[in-house]
Amino acid sequence: MQVLITHGTMARTRVLQFQRWQLLVGAAALAVVMMAASGSIYHFIFLKAAREGWPVVSSLVRLIVRDEIAQRDRFMRENLDAMAQKVGEMRAKLVKLEAMGDRVSGLAGMKPEDLVPLRRSEDAASGAATGAAGGEAPSAANGTGGPYVPAQHLSLEQLQTLVSGLDEATDLHTDLFTFYESRLQESRLTALLVPSAAPVIGPVGSGFGFRTDPFNGRAALHTGLDFPAEVGTPILAAAGGMVVTREWHPGYGQLLEIDHGNGLLTRYAHCSSIEVEVGALVKRGQQVAKVGNTGRSTGSHLHFEVLLEGVPQNPARFLGRQARPMLEFAARPGQR
């Protein structure tokens, strides 16, 4: 780029030649200078005019500042309203969680009044949040609902208090559900140690109680349930536990006993073979032996007993519907 400088009194014309990068640098420098100048003018003239109350400039500055403040307030109000609506939705979800917690506490075998101290803390947190919102807290028993429509605009401080209360209530609900989960797991583990699974898939023969002895014809107590099955049929652990006995018994033949804790023990008799060793931990449904015809027996079957503190119990009470003797088998005199 060339710039020609001429003058009537000059003898010759001066030529200035610029490169493209020089023009760019010059434009950037000019922009910086203009920005600095405008900033200085705004700072030293308009702000000073606003402070000292100059007739024209101060009014113009006040209008500009007032408009900026109004826009900022409107933006903050819209955001606060949106946050308040979100907080209302969170409170509604907490109400649902509270109702769900009451149902889960029933499944865990607990009553709401058993957690009075924790409930009081939860109610206090909910009350603090409700006080900031300016309304009453909905109760799960009352069955309230609907969209959240704030009765009044919340200030930033009120919103912060409300969020803090909701955060505390959420932590309390988390603690409650953790406690319920622990109790449910405890109940599940306890159930796994109760002999409620049938040891042999199939019908039940002789039931628990007095019957005619198949060998001498006299009345005698049958201390378990008989499961008629072919030799080699898998025998499954009725519950989880530890093997405590594996031996030959004159009456029971090949005998297996599993300890389930809390004084509960199951006995599996007349086995053809035993698949686990003493001290082994077994789980419910695991194969532990095979049906046989050993000991004092008239045919291949499993003799299954449940003992509580060493006293024989009716296994049908543990097995439920799985242990209802079928008439055609219960009528048979054999299978002790």
Residue in the block written with tokens 């807290």? 137
User: Considering 147, 165, 192, which residue would you say is the last residue of a domain?
Assistant: 192
Res. 331 pLDDT band, cuts 50 70 90: very low
* Structural domain boundaries enclosing 99: 84-192
71-85, 219-233, 291-305: segment of lowest average pLDDT: 71-85
Of 192, 222, 241, the domain-final residue: 192
Positive or negative, the CA dihedral 226, 229, 230, 236 is negative
Higher-confidence residue: 127 or 90?
A: 90
pTM of the model: 0.50
| Better-scored residue on pLDDT, 194 or 11 | 194
Phi, psi of 120 (to 5 degrees): -65, -40
Say if residue 141 is in the same domain as residue 213: no
User: pLDDT tens for residues 104-125?
Assistant: 776 666 665 665 544 554 455 4
Find which of 103-117, 235-249, 321-335 is predicted with most confidence, using mean pLDDT: 235-249
Q: Decide: 301 and 335 in contact? Cβ < 8 Å.
A: yes
pLDDT in tens, 255-287: 999 999 888 999 999 999 999 999 999 999 999
Asked if the model's pLDDT at residue 326 lies above 50, the reply is no
Q: Are residues 96 and 158 in the same domain?
A: yes
Please indicate, yes or no, whether residues 237 and 264 belong to a single structural domain of this protein: yes
Asked if residue 69 is part of any domain, the answer here is: no
Q: Is residue 70 part of a domain?
A: no
Per the structure, how many domains does the chain have?
3
User: What whole-number distance in Å separates Cα of residue 114 and Cα of residue 103?
Assistant: 14
131 or 302, greater pLDDT: 302
Over range 136-142, report the average pLDDT.
48
Q: Are residues 225 and 308 in the same domain?
A: yes
Same domain, 164 and 228: no
**260 in any annotated domain:** yes
The per-residue pLDDT for 92 is 77
Buried b (16+ CB within 10 A) or exposed e, 287-324: ebbbbbbbbbbebbbbbbbbbeeeeebbbbebbeebbe
Domain annotation covers residue 175: yes
How far from 321 is each of 58, 316, 332, CA to CA, in Å?
A: 93, 8, 20
Give a yes or no: residue 58 inside a domain. Answer: no
